Every structure is written in structure tokens, then in C-alpha cells.
Amino acid sequence: MTNKEKYKQAFSVLQSSDRISQEIERMAIMNKKAKMRTAAAAAAACAVLIGGSGIAYAADVGGIQRTIQLWIQGDQTTATFEYDGEGSYHISYPLENGEMGERGGGGIAYEADGTERPLTEEEILEELNESLNAPEVEYKDDGTVWVYYYDQKMEITDLFEDGVCYIKLTHGEETQYMTINYQKGYGMSPHKYPEPDSFD
């Protein structure tokens, strides 16, 4: 019998104390909370960009910058993504009027032991790719209301009844049911139209 087998046999009959069991439970709870905080931090990092943009793909152009494709108001736009190595990013893209649009953000993640660290470039790109598929609602100066979703542009001004509009959005196999409460916000679900009172 090897030393390893002897140690295994000797320690296999030991029972863990309540104190150790409580510590294991506490660590499991902390780990779960850390994962939730990580997701919340990543979502917060992406909140700046949710207004109608979506990353279609990313291509490496030199390590510090990447060229990415965004959906902005129904048009696919080439943008430059820059990551500072410390959890923050900056995106710049051309506008129709010839000027440059800019967006940015950042975030932190919490490890299982409770320590925090900046989001990596890959984590930010992954979160942006997932979160930027939300539609954008625009209230124009001329009184019209528009919804942009990937390559779709829809005027919905005449679809409001008592300040609420219901529209069904599709992209490939994905379907979203959207309820828009005029000038108050909107809600989406892949299953049914959200109640307008739930996001006032």
C-alpha cells in the first residue's frame, strides 16, 4: 500500500465538523453572490450601449483596437473598439452627418473569494454581443416614433392606443414581444407582451 493510499484510508473515516460545514456553506453562498455581482457589473458595463446597437462580429486589427460591426438605427456600421486593459472600453463610429459617435463604459467582476478585478476584453465583447440585441425606440422632433431592431426600421407613431403600442419583432429564429408606453419606456419578452404598468 502506497503512502497516498494510506492517507486516503486514514482520512476517509473522519467526519467534518459543523464549523467546517458552515464554512463550506458560507463559501458556496459567497460564490453564488459573486457570480450575481459579476453578471450585474457586466450588465452595468454594457448599459451605456443598449440604445439600439448590436455587434455583428469582431475582427482583430492589432491587439489594442478591434474593428466591430454595430447596428445603429437599423444600419450596420463599422466601429473601432478600444480596450484599455483595466476594464474600460471606448467605441467610436461614423455618423450620417460625417461626425463621429462615441460610446464607452467598463466594469468589474468579483471572484469567488470576493476580490474584484477588471472585466477582460473578451468578457466585455461577449457581454456587448449578448446585450446589444435590444431594440431602440426613438422619439423624433417631428413627432414620429421609430423602432430600430437589427436591420429593421419601423415607424410606429400610428400604432399607439391610449399611449401604449404592442409590436412583435423577429430576427432569424428569435421573436420578441414589445410593449411601448409612450415616453415612459418599454418592456420585452420572448413569450408574451409585457404589461405596460410593469415598466412605468
Q: What letter represents residue 79's amino acid? A: A
Length of the chain: 200
The confidence score (pLDDT) of residue 168 equals 93
pLDDT at 50 over 90: no
| 164, 182 contact by CB (below 8 A) | yes
Beta-bridge partners for 118: 108
Query: What are 92-149's pLDDT values in tens digits?
Result: 888 878 888 888 888 888 999 999 999 888 888 887 776 566 788 989 999 999 998 8
How far is residue 28's CA from residue 20's CA, in Å, rounded to a whole number? 12
pLDDT at 44 over 90: no
Give helix 121-131 / helix 18-46 axis angle, nearest 10°: 70
Q: What letter represents residue 99's amino acid? A: E
Query: What are 60-86's pLDDT values in tens digits?
Result: 444 467 888 777 766 777 888 888 888
How far is residue 173's CA from residue 140's CA, in Å, rounded to a whole number? 30
Q: pTM for this one?
A: 0.51
Phi, psi of 52 (to 5 degrees): 90, 15
Domain boundaries, the chain: 37-131, 136-199
